[in-house]
Amino acid sequence: MKLQNAVIADVVSKRAKALRMLPIFGVLVLCVFAMAIRPACTRTEVSGSGDSMVRIRDEIRPIVSAGGDYPESVRAYFDHYGLGMGEGVRHRFGTFESGEWTLAGHVYTPGEYRETVILLHGYLNHCGQFRHLIRRLLDAGYAVAMYDMPGHGLSTGERAVIEDFSQYSDALGDFLEVVRGLAHGPYDVIGFSTGGTVAIDWLLTRDAEVFRRVVLAGPLVRSPGWQSSRAGARFYSSFTDTVPRIARKNCSDPAYLKFNKYSDMLHCRNVSLRWLLALYEWNDRMADRGPSACGVKVIQGTKDTTVSFKYNLAFIRRKFPAADVTLIEGGRHELFNEAEGLREKVLDAVVAYLGADESVADEDAEDLEDGRNGYATEGRTE
């Protein structure tokens, strides 16, 4: 009997120790997640441009009245991130209001274009990550519009913080209203990483018919070590609001990694635990959402360790049964900033999907409408 009691006591002790270690392990996982995201910084001064970048927020005008005569600080920003697209393209850059925030956005309109593509960047990132994608879309005959999300880039807001992911969709809706006055439709949307999360949220909770085509590139639904990081975040959010992050290789282009580490000064240094908690809550809400008949194109790298892409693809296939998935062999998370060979495969896949034959798109829409009716009678699948 004494031996049995001793064994029971030992088991209880080990389980108690394991429970005590869970928050610690969770924070370790959070740190790994933070490492996976990207190098970051909270300053707005860019190396080589002096004090001009510090003044940029004060010198940005509303986007609806913006023209080609930009102050030195704005021109330095364009040059630093390769956002100037040359002759033949009108580039409007300025601010617009969204709730409590003043957000910074861009609209590029060639002389003639078939439709307008809205770009949504990833967490801790900003519009500067899209220079290759912008150029390819403009060359293919599209107008391009994009903005820095709340708390990111040149937009206002507490750095990298959001209280509820629905606020990201609110900002997308506000930007869409601005874009409608500056560039004609139809409208498409490309969401990268957290931008993909925003696009998913829009399609499942807002007017999905606003967008003709939707591309999700390396979309974030869940991150690695989901359950452990969730426990750690809830525990440590009582003591701190951020987790420091460390640079990690998330593409195969050495030049981009070097720029990102040493010269990109519009990132944020820390992962916000409030942002993480909002992501967990968003996942809980989306679990109760039924499938959508919307067609989406998913482009995913097979070496992506920033997101739990196998879980995410399964989630997207449940919510969007008509989803078309393209895997980029060897691609990491930063698909639009990969080494040239991989990057060209990604850009080719995007342009091919957006430019699919219109008659085929109409037939697909009819099929999707039939599918929507079917889902309404069969109920939700998880």
Domain boundaries, the chain: 24-378
How far apart (Å, rounded) are the C-alpha atoms in residues 199 and 130? 17
pLDDT averaged over every residue in the chain: 84
Quick one: tokens of 131?
Answer: 């220079």
The reported pLDDT for the residue numbered 177 is 98
What pLDDT shows up at residue 202?
98
Is the model's pLDDT at 175 over the cut of 60? yes
Mean pLDDT calculated for residue range 14-21: 45
Q: Per mean pLDDT, which range of 82-86, 250-254, 269-273 is the poorest?
A: 269-273
Q: Is the pLDDT of residue 381 over 60?
A: no
pLDDT surpassing 80 at residue 322: yes
What would the mean pLDDT of 221-233 be, rounded to a whole number?
A: 91
Which residues make beta-bridge pairs with 216?
Answer: 191, 298
CB 353 within 8 A of CB 295: no
Nearest to 89 by CA among 74, 72, 68, 117: 68
Joined tokens for residue 66? 């913006």
| Average pLDDT estimate for 231-241 | 85
Identify the band that residue 267 occupies on the pLDDT scale cut at 50, 70 and 90.
Answer: confident
> How much is the average pLDDT of 323-332?
98
Q: Which two tokens stand for residue 89?
A: 């393209």
The encoded tokens of residue 355 equal: 């430019």
| Beta pairing partners, 145 | 107, 118
Q: What percent of the chain has pLDDT over 70?
A: 79
Tell which wins on pLDDT, 140 or 242.
Answer: 140
3-state helix, strand, coil in the chain (%, to 5): 50, 15, 35
Q: Which residue has the higher pLDDT, 10 or 212?
A: 212
Find the mean pLDDT for residues 138-163.
97
- Pick 369 or 148 by higher pLDDT: 148
Q: What was the pLDDT predicted at 154? A: 96
**Average confidence (pLDDT) over 50-55:** 54
Least confident of 43-47, 73-77, 130-134, 292-296: 43-47
Residue 362 pLDDT > 50, yes or no?
Answer: no
Q: Does residue 212 sit in helix, strand or coil?
A: strand
pLDDT value, residue 54: 56
Q: pLDDT tens, 147-158?
A: 999 999 999 999
Kindly tell me if the per-residue pLDDT of 131 is higher than 90.
yes
Q: Mean pLDDT over residues 206-228, rounded?
A: 96
Give me the pLDDT at residue 274, please: 95
Model confidence at 195: pLDDT above 50: yes
Q: Is 80 exceeded by the pLDDT of residue 4?
A: no
- pLDDT exceeds 80 at position 307: yes
* pLDDT attached to residue 357: 66
Is pLDDT of 360 > 60?
A: no
Local confidence band at 104 (pLDDT 50, 70, 90 cut-offs): very high
Confidence of residue 44 (pLDDT cuts 50, 70, 90): very low
Residue 27 has pLDDT above 80, yes or no: no
Q: Is 379 a residue whose pLDDT tops 80?
A: no
* pLDDT in the model for residue 358: 52
Q: What is the pLDDT confidence band of residue 237, given thresholds at 50, 70 and 90? A: confident
- Look at residue 333 in the predicted model and tell me its pLDDT: 97
CATH code, 24-378: 3.40.50.1820
Q: Which residues of 172-202 are buried (b: 16+ CB within 10 A; e: fewer)?
A: bebbbebbeebbeeebbbbbbbbbbbbbbbb
